[in-house]
Structure 1
Amino acid sequence: MALLALSHFIPHRLRRNHRRNQCRCCSSSATNEGSTAVVWFKHDLRVDDHPGLLDASKHSAVIPLYVLDRRILSRYTTDTLELAILALEELRKTLKKQGSNLMLRYGNAENVIADLVKEVRAHSVFVEEEVEYHLCDVLDGVKKKLEGFSLSGEPPRIVFWRTPFYESQNLTDLPQSWEEFKKLNLPISLPVPAARFSSPGSELQWGSVPTLDDLKDYLKESLCEKENRWREMAQASAERVLMERLGNLKESSMEPNVDGSLGKKVDNSAFVTNKRDTVGGGNEAVLNALAGYLRYLEGTSRDDWQEVHARLRDAEIRPGASFFSLFGPVLHLGIVSRRSVHYEAIEYEKERNAGFISPFGYSAATVSAATDAVCSMEWYYLVALNRERIDEKRHAIRIWRWKGYLIQYTVVGNEGPAVLLVHGFGAFLEHYRDNVDNIVNSKNRVWTITVLGFGKSEKPNIIYTELLWAELLRDFMIEVVGEPAHCVGNSIGGYFVALMAFLWPALVKSVVLVNSAGNVVPGYSPLPISRERRVPFGAQLGARLLLFFLQINVKKFLKDCYPVKPARADDFLVTEMLRAVSFLFFCIIDS
């Protein structure tokens, strides 16, 4: 085994001269002399590969801004808040090295940005495009606020940007599945260089990065007693609550199985949070950890990379699952871009194989894990971005982000009690397309959701459990519905709803089970609780045979389920159910 003893890893993009990618917002070479731009950071906490910042650098002065908006930060877990604070500290250090700074201001984004635009007489505000419904709502509020006043006779310009993953200008006509999309074999764009821009005036009030305790206190200030209780409710895992309910809580069973070598302090560690279970810090630290992750098979004498390898082993609960476990949160916060991860992984693969990329797959499992994860994330981002066009539906699709994953849902109705509809196995929110209007017409407000791993909600490479789905429904109730609801579940969705009602009864007014699956007897655990979810070979073979049988007969089965209206078992329904079922069966097979 080759031992790598580099004192400092230099990313491939900085080692080689290569063609730099230009995104659409950076395509103009014109400068904006005498003008000021505000760059509003949200989930893009980096300077490297930041198209918006690069385009803004054409202005005479640039004000990097981070708004501590309760509406955005209240949806972060404590772990994510800690990561965000550390990332903000590193982002400020990076900007200061360039002679700039990072401004931090508290309040609603609409008011903060409007006040800053007036203060510095900014002509443009650069902000990353969003797909999450509540963030789109915030962006709309900022846009309307800025339209209310003008500088030199016209309102400030809002520039929405994104980091294009594929070198294609038209990704609106998406195939219906990830497998079909991969067949397009689109070229992947390259990262853009870090921006250089002029220093703003030193007389500005830049603010300070808050501590975690200060930020938590700030978020609690405007919450009522119920909201505080619900927020605390979301902090405890379903496993812990279940074991408490069963009177079988053992602290030792709740602790992760961590490699013993992680007890010592490691210089230049990328695991900077209290739990030390995910990569954090700034862009440079994350790319260094990624380099260590990719080189797992080579061995190393570096303590920081050995720590990454130990964490990888602990997080590899199924093939490839370690990547999102370790790097998912920093990708969600935009500390590193998806295409930067892909670029570094591919360059390392070339390095291993004398510049050659095999058409039969990558030579390192870590390269496959990294590229598969970021390509999958990009696919579901594009699905969310194009949801208005590609979804055959009656009601508008909204996007909610849960633990970094994109979840589809709808809400219909303006008055009456809240009702939550949860679909069954192999289905999705359109499962209730013939029921929603009737329920709404009976004076109800109705939410439908496609849970993680189904339909067009994201399908990450993780272990799926009943407790995971119960936590998802709990957080959806807290963050999106915002009040107790009458919960309806069909098939396995009934199991999830019943489990949520058992663990967190304050969230549920009533439970309606429609042909429910699973054991829902209170006090009984179907687990046992175990972190090892290996499936025997016989079960894997059975899953493959069952999947093959379903693929052949699913249309017939669906028509039997619609005896009155067999035409409802159309190609759309068959395709969507096969896609969802295929994915879940492969999750079982690969475990």
Structure 2
Amino acid sequence: MAPEVLRNKRNASSFFASEGSIDVRGGSDMTLGALAAYLRYLEGTGRDDWQELHDKLRRVEIGNGTSFYTLFSSSLFLGTISRRRVFYEAIKYEKERNAGFISPFGYSAPTVTASVDAICSMEWYRLLALKSQTCNEGGYSIRIWSWNGYIIQYTAVGNDGPAILLVHGFGAFLQHYRDNIKEIADNGFRVWAITLLGFGKSEKPNVSYSELMWAELLRDFIVDVINEPVHVVGNSLGGYISSIVAGVWPSLTKSLVLINTAGTVVPNYSFIPTSEEWRASFFSRLGARLLLLYLRSSAASILKSYYPTKRERVDTALVNEITRASYDPGAAMILESIFNFNLSIPLNFLLDSFGGSVLVIQGTKDPLVKSGVFLSMLREHCRHVLIKEFDAGHCVQDELPEEVNSILIEWAMEKSEVNLAMKAV
């Protein structure tokens, strides 16, 4: 039989478009067949198509239950199969395994657990998004954007003027710019603030989180939602992610503002080390759950250490939202990802690749970094960088909002005028 005929025969029975594909393809019947194979992973099979799915399941199961999102998220997003049908099939199979009963101590198969947990999580964030859209939080409305099928919350304020995108740090959300958004917009700007995947009230799917994934999310947000180059402002991890966007896709970034950014400066770098594929371990899962317990019991004291100058800014609303988010489905998974972070691309490489104007706002009392050493390295190894120092901690934009707003408005206005002048020439 000719190789082409063999290939077509394989494709007709396979749940996947190609050998390298990892998401289930086809119509409803094909997807239901794939779901049946997925749920029955522990039973083994002699069917080639089921064996292929089981092989891919093992390949993409980097953490408990992550394989379900990888294999079936596209089918769910496209509506090939409904969440209700997945839930029904998973519970039906569980009852078949247990003589018609469901144990109060958990499901008998990890694939059933993964399927049910994923569907319940998706429904939770759908309802949370609906609630957020009916509430006017901080004087601005919450909007919803779907990225790769996941729910992302953001806000947009202002009708005219240059575009500014505000990006929060690890564990935060768009409301961390609560006293920046409206003030900046009122001074002649259009302001977007986003809650990244895995944080706040945006969805927290059971997937592998990385700085590169968040950078791709920001890139797509700028292209799909803002639809024009933008001044990007990032705090902490959000600063590092924004630097990746500016360095890799410089045409999307008018200027870059880094507020107590994450990342390191590496003199004389000769290559960019790549991250190895991460797989969750017992220790990362244990560490994530211990971190969750610590966060829930000590959120206020942790936050106050980041606000050394104005501890009163750590109010009930801020503490409550950070604590609330720690109980969301998928919160443990995002904390597990901490053990995979290495921020391996040097900041100076990213800023050199960008080549545009960069403003660094640094709180000199940041408990997470030695500001003096960090700023010294920036001055020595980074071009096009203007540095502004403040007597503040890690979250300067929220600790000293008036001062930061003044600088951001002046900076963005100046850079926008320069861009207009260059276009005129």
TM-score by length of 2: 0.71
| Cα RMSD after superposing both structures | 2.7
Matched, 1:528 2:274: yes
- Structure 2: which 5+ runs fail to align? 1-6, 340-425
Say which of 52, 57, 65 aligns to 1:320: 65
Aligned to 1:551: 296
Q: Are 1:423 and 1:490, in contact at CA under 8 Å, matched by a contact in 2?
A: yes
Say which of 191, 199, 218 aligns to 1:454: 199
Say which of 301, 307, 310 aligns to 2:55: 310
Please give the secondary structure, in 2, of the residue aligned with 1:358.
coil
Say which of 151, 169, 175 aligns to 1:430: 175
Q: Are 1:498 and 1:520, in contact at CA under 8 Å, matched by a contact in 2?
A: no
Aligned-residue offset at 1:500: 1.0
Distance across 1 between alignment mates of 2:333 and 2:272: 22
Aligned to 2:365: none
Aligned-residue offset at 1:586: 4.3
Q: Are 2:288 and 2:335, in contact at CA under 8 Å, matched by a contact in 1?
A: yes
Pairing of 1:352-501 with structure 2 (within 5 A):
352-390=97-135, 392-501=137-246
Matched, 1:519 2:259: no
Aligned-residue offset at 1:527: 5.4
Distance across 2 between alignment mates of 1:412 and 1:525: 40
Q: Are 2:158 and 2:189, in contact at CA under 8 Å, matched by a contact in 1?
A: yes
TM-score by length of 1: 0.52
Distance across 1 between alignment mates of 2:209 and 2:271: 16
Aligned-residue offset at 1:536: 7.0
Aligned to 1:285: 30
Pairing of 1:55-454 with structure 2 (within 5 A):
265=10, 267-272=12-17, 275-390=20-135, 392-454=137-199
Distance across 2 between alignment mates of 1:428 and 1:403: 20
Matched, 1:508 2:249: no
Cα deviations across residues 275-329 of structure 1 (Å, max 9, x unaligned)? 5321111111111110010000001111221121111111111110111111100
Q: 581-590 vs 506-515, which deviates more? A: 581-590
Aligned-residue offset at 1:274: 7.9
Q: Are 1:271 and 1:279, in contact at CA under 8 Å, matched by a contact in 2?
A: yes
Aligned partner letter, 2:160: E
Aligned-residue offset at 1:535: 4.7
Distance across 2 between alignment mates of 1:416 and 1:483: 12
Q: Are 1:427 and 1:580, in contact at CA under 8 Å, matched by a contact in 2?
A: no
Q: Are 1:535 and 1:588, in contact at CA under 8 Å, matched by a contact in 2?
A: no
Would you say how many aligned residue pairs link Structure 1 and Structure 2?
329
Distance across 2 between alignment mates of 1:383 and 1:404: 16
Identify if the C-alpha distance between structure 1 residues 581 and 518 changes in structure 2 by more than 3 Å, giving closer, same or farther: farther
Identify if the C-alpha distance between structure 1 residues 546 and 385 changes in structure 2 by more than 3 Å, giving closer, same or farther: closer
Q: Are 2:296 and 2:326, in contact at CA under 8 Å, matched by a contact in 1?
A: no
Identify if the C-alpha distance between structure 1 residues 556 and 529 changes in structure 2 by more than 3 Å, giving closer, same or farther: closer
Identify if the C-alpha distance between structure 1 residues 544 and 460 changes in structure 2 by more than 3 Å, giving closer, same or farther: closer
Distance across 2 between alignment mates of 1:564 and 1:313: 50
Distance across 1 between alignment mates of 2:210 and 2:170: 13
Q: Are 2:156 and 2:193, in contact at CA under 8 Å, matched by a contact in 1?
A: yes
Please give the secondary structure, in 2, of the residue aligned with 1:408.
strand
Please give the secondary structure, in 2, of the residue aligned with 1:386.
helix
Aligned partner letter, 1:457: S
Aligned-residue offset at 1:519: 2.8
Aligned-residue offset at 1:353: 0.6
Distance across 1 between alignment mates of 2:263 and 2:9: 44
Identify if the C-alpha distance between structure 1 residues 468 and 520 changes in structure 2 by more than 3 Å, giving closer, same or farther: farther
Distance across 2 between alignment mates of 1:264 and 1:524: 48
Q: Which has the higher helix share?
A: 2
Aligned to 1:573: 318
Aligned partner letter, 2:278: E
Aligned to 1:31: none
Distance across 1 between alignment mates of 2:106 and 2:78: 29
Aligned-residue offset at 1:463: 0.8
Please give the secondary structure, in 2, of the residue aligned with 1:407.
strand
Aligned-residue offset at 1:585: 4.8
Q: Are 1:418 and 1:446, in contact at CA under 8 Å, matched by a contact in 2?
A: yes
Distance across 1 between alignment mates of 2:50 and 2:11: 10
Q: Are 2:198 and 2:205, in contact at CA under 8 Å, matched by a contact in 1?
A: yes
Distance across 1 between alignment mates of 2:136 and 2:94: 37
Q: Are 2:133 and 2:143, in contact at CA under 8 Å, matched by a contact in 1?
A: no
Aligned-residue offset at 1:528: 3.2
Please give the secondary structure, in 1, of the residue aligned with 2:146.
strand
Aligned-residue offset at 1:473: 0.5
Aligned partner letter, 2:225: V
Aligned-residue offset at 1:576: 1.9
Distance across 2 between alignment mates of 1:400 and 1:413: 18
Aligned to 1:179: none
Distance across 1 between alignment mates of 2:27 and 2:167: 39
Aligned partner letter, 1:529: S
Distance across 2 between alignment mates of 1:313 and 1:360: 25
Distance across 2 between alignment mates of 1:463 and 1:525: 25
Aligned to 2:384: none
Please give the secondary structure, in 2, of the residue aligned with 1:509.
strand
Distance across 1 between alignment mates of 2:19 and 2:280: 29
Identify if the C-alpha distance between structure 1 residues 490 and 384 changes in structure 2 by more than 3 Å, giving closer, same or farther: same
Distance across 2 between alignment mates of 1:269 and 1:540: 34
From the CA coordinates, give the structure whose radius of gyration is larger: 1
Please give the secondary structure, in 2, of the residue aligned with 1:328.
helix
Aligned to 2:421: none
